[in-house]
Chains A and B, each alone.
Chain A
Amino acid sequence: MTQTRSDTESDSPEQTSTGMRLIVPLQGIVHGRGGLILGSLIPCAMFYFLQFYLKRHRSPPSEKPPPPPPSPSNSAANVAELPRTLSRSSLSLRGSAGHAHVSSRADSIARAGDSPYYVGLDRVLEDRYDELNNPNGIIQLGLSENTLSLDLIEEWLSKNLSDSILGGGLSISGIATYQPFDGLMELKVAMAGFMSRVMGRTVSFNPSQIVLTSGATPAVEILCFCLADHGNALLVPTPYYPGFDRDIRWRTGVELIPVHCRSSDNFSLSITALDQAYNHARKRGQKVRGVLITNPSNPVGNILTRETLCSLLDFAREKNIHIICDEVFAGSTFGNEEFVSMAEILDSEDSDKDRVHIIYGLSKDFSLPGFRIGVVYSSNENVLAASKRLTRFSSVSAPTQRLLIAMLSDTRFVEEYLQTNRKRIRTIHSLFVAGLKQLGIECIKSTGGLFCWVDMSRLIRPYSEKGELELWDKLLNKAKINATPGLACHCIEPGWFRCCFTTLREKDIPVVIERIRKVVETCKTI
């Protein structure tokens, strides 16, 4: 099912705006040597600023005394999570005499959890919108999940496996014993076929180059452990998926160097900017081991052109570094542009096989985030060998493997699913974007992903991170909409928000738009 190959979109002409004139010099500072200071001051300031905002809106903190003996009869039986131990008071408890130390890695985790990305997700858990039961709850636009086509999978399950989790006649001894940690070969074969279909059948994937992991999250981490040492860095174009900050830096100690993209380029990747960032890093004495890109991009939703991918490969070759290409949204494209996988570029460039590694998974394209299926795909034998060993810490559960072998091998179903899913994403996307347009809000023209990148910069006062946070706060607490603010994605221009729309039904859209409209009104009266 090859899409018609369309010409690559020409870049939109450089646009200058007031915002840009403020940002560019800032950009110059942040990237320069002296920018290291600003680079550390600004996040610190942001952190304290965030704390202030969070304290205002957090659910009543339950400040705990040192943990009492666990007493089952007293503990709350409901789902409410353990009281947040992130507040500063708990930190000081930890340091008091008689309490065994925890690692600095454990510490850094606490701080990461206060990003608005996670705060918003937590808030939705506490107060989720439900048309009937909780009409004033928070509508989730902050989690890139797709529920549009789950009915198709449900249908397949009831037709093929009756309702049994184990799928009827499966005997347990076949799936209970130790399996190869990197996944059953049958599933790798099925997955290779699925990936090929997803990418438009223009490239084929070799099952022996697949390592299965419990989700794309460990896949990314495993690759980072393989490609970079503690203290090394990866270049990452911004804005990027907020989860990377935690997933990559947390345990590997690998740094992420943001490479800023701008609205004037529709936030598309600039090799020049990559080059600059690489050189700046070198001057600082920081070793760059690779570039991490997401294609289709999260949060912008644009697709990298074949040309850009080739230029990226040239760049990586020139610097002798790796490319990690996260293609988890490859099947969630809905425009006329063809999606080109990094694997396809490699097909024609034999010499670079060792430096390109692809991440995939079934959480986005196949709507099964709960089942935990991720893929590390590489032609580098040593990376594969190491990844296979490392995935023992994050293997796919056997019953899930069995279920997916059956599902993914049903190629007719897979084709139907992919096509229908794309159509449905396109429909919701159009409705959502149109709704925003009515409010005078524009989005970056995108053709992939489960979200759109929304320009609310004209609604924020002042035109800064502070203004953006205030708007985020208003959206979350007044409009009861959880959207992800650009600063969580390291966007250099304030006022942008990621809104995921694939958990919405058509009837939800007017509700969402109306709520946003109310906030827009209040912004205009400032």
Chain B
Amino acid sequence: MTIEDEQPSVELSKVAVSETHGEDSPYFAGWKAYDEDPYHESSNPSGVIQMGLAENQVSFDLLEEYLEHHPQEASWGKGASGFRENALFQDYHGLQSFRNAMASFMGQVRGERAKFDPDRVVLTAGATAANELLTFILANPGDALLVPTPYYPGFDRDLRWRTGVNIVPVHCDSSNNFQVTPQALDAAYSKAEAMNIKVRGVLITNPSNPLGATIQRSVLGEILDFVTRKNIHLVSDEIYSGSAFSSTEFVSIAEVLEARDYKDSERVHIVYSLSKDLGLPGFRVGTIYSYNDWVVTTARRMSSFTLISSQTQQLLASMLSDKSFTQNYIKTNRERLKKRYQTIIEGLRNAGIDCLEGNAGLFCWMNLSPLLEKPTRECELDLWNTVLQEVKLNISPGSSCHCSEPGWFRVCFANMSEQTLEVALKRIHQFMEGRKTNGGNLNFLLI
């Protein structure tokens, strides 16, 4: 009876049509440009070099070597019944052996300065899921989390999209190297209160993305005092903990808690993952480590929506339990990242560019504010676009990280070969030279 074209189309939900996925921001637009014209040493030497993806490719060889020399580790385990049990295993507690391995690995990454209880490890398919899950558990729709700026652009999506929770930024600036201060925390909290929004917790990333720097012990203490005072939660996203250039430079919130005898620890939750430290983002392995029994139980149940494949758990359980392997991996990985960092810092310095002093992560926080005509977001985005279109580098503009000071950019250095990094540095050098000689459009792609 009703003609098809007159039929109103069937409606979708608000979540489905919302823009909170954020894929229209420059952070992601740069990725699209890269996808369309990706750099390749031989086949596309003038393509876009991807410096906007925080991936760790510097230590693959160690993983491959391990698997080659330990084929039995990469087996289903326990002989004939191993595969069957594994294939059927969908218990949201996760494989005990894998949880043990994760707890042990997390301890190792922290130089054994903190110990982790396997029974507090909740498994999720990636840290993305872990952060969202914690948000679902700790806050109601309309509530807020305080997040120090600049922060990982993905948080806007991961913490807010389906949860309906808000992010209230805690503004940090270069005057003190973007460290969080109690004043900034208080200001953000008051701002939320003024908007009638209930704050449920603070979410920090340590080591910080995009700063590439660890949070100092004293600052961690101040943050812990703040959340205790306000009786709210603290989520510490420590996915880059194994990417600190030296083991002693990174202080985990776990260490601070231990020093305080775990007083008031039930408000603290740590997120970890193997995507950055172990370079295995495709495996989808994340964890929530909570000092709160209720949160552990609830998160476990909720992890039903985001279980890690039992096959993957089995594979990694053996590998991560091998202490000689993990110790060597952690040490070597740190050294290589440090070397990369030094390369890029030097290269940038030679080009007349300063960076924030960093000591961790897969990226550096570059200061291009001297190049801005005016210290505005628009000028920053213009510069970003120039770098993307002319210099053919995809770097992440600070505004997509909610940085309150325009002109800062995150530059990743671990997701490419050393040669590619050199190429990128040359391009930057030539770009800066070009601007000195009054912005003539040099063809700097003749490398």
A and B associate: yes
CB-CB under 8 A for A370 and B53, given A69-B261, A100-B232, A154-B84: no
Q: Is the CB of A64 within 8 A of B293?
A: yes
* CB nearest neighbor in A for B96: A79
* CB nearest neighbor in A for B2: A317
Q: Could you say which of B23, B138, B283 contacts A102, with CB atoms under 8 Å apart?
A: B138
Produce 1/0 per residue, A74-92, CB < 8 A to B. Answer: 0111010111110000100
Cα-based distance from A35 to B38 in the complex (angstroms) = 62
Produce 1/0 per residue, A109-131, CB < 8 A to B. Answer: 11001000000000001000000
* CB nearest neighbor in B for A401: B282
* CB nearest neighbor in A for B79: A163
Q: Is the CB of B279 within 8 A of A400?
A: no
Shortest CB distance A226–B (Å):
4
Q: Could you say which of A82, A104, A178 contacts B53, with CB atoms under 8 Å apart?
A: A178
Q: Is the CB of A399 within 8 A of B283?
A: yes
Cα-based distance from A394 to B162 in the complex (angstroms) = 13
* CB nearest neighbor in B for A390: B162
Within 8 A of B (CB), among A224-264: 225-230, 232, 246-247, 250-251
> Please, how many residues of chain B have a CB less than 8 angstroms from a CB on the other chain?
99
A322 at the interface (CB under 8 A from B): yes
CB-CB under 8 A for A70 and B265, given A147-B88, A164-B74: yes
Of A226, A246, A372, chain B has the most CB atoms within 10 Å of the CB of A372
Q: Could you say which of B136, B139, B295, B305 contacts A394, with CB atoms under 8 Å apart?
A: B305
B residues in contact with A104, CB < 8 Å: 140
Cα-based distance from A414 to B88 in the complex (angstroms) = 19
Q: Is the CB of B128 within 8 A of A392?
A: yes
A55 at the interface (CB under 8 A from B): no
Cα-based distance from A56 to B34 in the complex (angstroms) = 63
Q: Could you say which of B84, B297, B315 contacts A150, with CB atoms under 8 Å apart?
A: B84
A383 at the interface (CB under 8 A from B): yes
CB-CB under 8 A for A226 and B11, given A351-B4, A397-B125: no
* CB nearest neighbor in A for B3: A351
CB-CB under 8 A for A225 and B162, given A369-B90, A370-B311: yes
Cα-based distance from A164 to B73 in the complex (angstroms) = 8
B302 at the interface (CB under 8 A from A): yes
B13 at the interface (CB under 8 A from A): yes
Q: Is the CB of B87 within 8 A of A221?
A: no
* CB nearest neighbor in A for B9: A354
* CB nearest neighbor in B for A112: B301
A residues in contact with B302, CB < 8 Å: 109, 250-251
B377 at the interface (CB under 8 A from A): no
Produce 1/0 per residue, A173-189, CB < 8 A to B. Answer: 10111110000000000
Q: Is the CB of A370 within 8 A of B10?
A: no
CB-CB under 8 A for A322 and B10, given A70-B262, A218-B306, A399-B312: yes
Of A76, A389, A392, chain B has the most CB atoms within 10 Å of the CB of A392
Cα-based distance from A94 to B137 in the complex (angstroms) = 14
Shortest CB distance A222–B (Å):
9
Q: Is the CB of A166 within 8 A of B74?
A: yes
Q: Is the CB of A393 within 8 A of B117?
A: no
Q: Is the CB of B75 within 8 A of A370?
A: no
B residues in contact with A179, CB < 8 Å: 282
B residues in contact with A66, CB < 8 Å: 266
Cα-based distance from A98 to B228 in the complex (angstroms) = 8
Q: Is the CB of A386 within 8 A of B12?
A: yes
Cα-based distance from A135 to B126 in the complex (angstroms) = 40
Within 8 A of A (CB), among B88-136: 88-91, 93, 96, 115-120, 125-126, 128-129, 132, 136
CB-CB under 8 A for A393 and B128, given A102-B298, A109-B301, A166-B315: yes
Shortest CB distance A450–B (Å):
13
A residues in contact with B87, CB < 8 Å: 150, 153, 367-371
* CB nearest neighbor in B for A81: B93
B64 at the interface (CB under 8 A from A): yes
B326 at the interface (CB under 8 A from A): no
Cα-based distance from A79 to B96 in the complex (angstroms) = 7
A209 at the interface (CB under 8 A from B): no
B308 at the interface (CB under 8 A from A): yes
B83 at the interface (CB under 8 A from A): yes
B141 at the interface (CB under 8 A from A): yes
B residues in contact with A322, CB < 8 Å: 10
CB-CB under 8 A for A395 and B284, given A173-B60, A214-B306: yes
Shortest CB distance B40–A (Å):
16
Q: Is the CB of B88 within 8 A of A165?
A: no
Q: Is the CB of A400 within 8 A of B293?
A: no
Q: Is the CB of B292 within 8 A of A67?
A: yes
B368 at the interface (CB under 8 A from A): no
Q: Could you say which of B13, B88, B283, B291 contacts A367, with CB atoms under 8 Å apart?
A: B88
A398 at the interface (CB under 8 A from B): yes
Q: Could you say which of A99, A125, A251, A369 contacts B136, with CB atoms under 8 Å apart?
A: A251
* CB nearest neighbor in A for B233: A100
Shortest CB distance B256–A (Å):
13
B353 at the interface (CB under 8 A from A): no
Shortest CB distance A394–B (Å):
5
Within 8 A of B (CB), among A378-416: 380, 382-383, 386, 389-390, 392-400, 403
Produce 1/0 per residue, B236-263, CB < 8 A to A. Answer: 0000000000000000000000000111
Q: Is the CB of A172 within 8 A of B9?
A: no
Q: Is the CB of B307 within 8 A of A215?
A: yes
B residues in contact with A214, CB < 8 Å: 125, 284, 305-309
Shortest CB distance B60–A (Å):
5
28 A-B contacts (beta carbon < 8 Å): A72-B116, A100-B267, A105-B140, A150-B87, A157-B83, A165-B75, A165-B315, A171-B64, A172-B60, A175-B282, A214-B284, A214-B305, A215-B307, A230-B141, A289-B13, A317-B7, A320-B11, A355-B10, A370-B89, A372-B309, A386-B16, A390-B161, A393-B158, A393-B162, A396-B309, A397-B125, A397-B284, A397-B311
Known pairs A179-B282, A397-B285, A397-B308 / 13 extra A-B pairs, C-beta < 8 Å: A75-B119, A79-B93, A101-B231, A105-B140, A106-B137, A178-B282, A214-B307, A247-B304, A320-B8, A370-B88, A372-B90, A395-B284, A400-B311
Q: Which residues does B use to contact A, with CB under 8 Å?
A: 4, 7-17, 21, 23, 53, 55, 57, 60, 63-64, 67, 71, 74-76, 80, 83-84, 86-91, 93, 96, 115-120, 125-126, 128-129, 132, 136-141, 143, 158, 161-162, 164, 200-201, 227, 231-233, 261-267, 279-285, 291-298, 301-302, 304-312, 314-315
Which 4 A-B pairs rank lowest in CB-CB distance, beginning with the nearest?
A: A69-B262, A370-B310, A398-B282, A397-B309
